[in-house]
A and B are shown apart, each in its own frame.
Chain A
């Protein structure tokens, strides 16, 4: 079972890296790119009986370690 965890800064939190990447893209002429938010991506290979169990485990890991709930939120996708 694989869980993919996407960690991103909360919308209210300023993202200096994303802003810098957006500025670089504008320099390259990609003016249609309005904004960039940078985040982190994890692939967890999980031994679990079903997708729900894998999702619960991934959510627990994301909450405790992979993200910092003060500034970040996360989204999880599970595939068998």
Chain B
């Protein structure tokens, strides 16, 4: 499989994400500059975390107009898997590829810590290796993660099972004190109606090896490989390195 990781001026998790795709997963990966106009034949696209364009105006507001975003939108419309992590999630919201918007964290703090996230849906390319309701310990690092959408939009998201990740207690229960930013319905991540575009505030790429405190985030990337293997069997994907099976068996 080939991963495209988009680099905006101000991205700072691009190399972490590249490292996971290339070294941990053993897959082909390429960093794509935001002014490029091709995704280089990638099978999956990741918009990484950071502070694209300094978060000027609003988080993701300038980045959505980068030339590469037209390609990302086309790729998504064709059903390609797109993952936005943290700032990448904010870019997807501003670009209209996911519904809603981000507000400043309720207590205005920049929150940087490990916390617990429950996987609510396993039928997306980024969660299909998860158990339903699985709780994973991965870090957040953001000041604008207070997800907001109008009540009718939230109602539709819940009805369509588009809430993919939710902040929970260590035992996996929804509780106000487990919500770090005040997001509506404790939403940590969601998908589009077609379920191929996913955005989340926590950073799975920062928790893929035990040496960094948790390897719980790896399941998100294993999910992409699982999606890739299924696509390969269906004939929608042509290449997959042999290391993928080893990673899936971990």
Write the residues of chain A forming the contact surface with B, with a CB cutoff of 8 angstroms: 9, 12-17, 20, 40, 65-66, 68, 70-71
Contacts and interface: CB of A to CB of B under 8 A. Distances in A.
Contacts of B131: none
Contacts of B65: 65
B110 to A, nearest CB: 13
Top 4 closest A-B pairs, CB basis?
A70-B101, A71-B101, A16-B104, A68-B101
B103 A71 contact: yes
A12 B184 CA distance: 13
A71 B148 CA distance: 8
A66 to B, nearest CB: 7
Contact of A16 (B61, B99, B103, B150): B103
Nearest to A10: B150
A16 B57 contact: no
A65 B65 CA distance: 9
B61 A68 contact: yes
A25 to B, nearest CB: 16
A9 to B, nearest CB: 8
29 contacts: A9-B103, A13-B103, A14-B103, A14-B148, A14-B182, A15-B103, A16-B103, A16-B104, A16-B105, A16-B106, A16-B108, A16-B146, A16-B182, A17-B104, A17-B108, A20-B108, A65-B57, A65-B61, A65-B65, A66-B57, A68-B58, A68-B61, A68-B101, A70-B99, A70-B100, A70-B148, A70-B149, A70-B150, A71-B148
A62 to B, nearest CB: 12
Interface in B181-198: 182
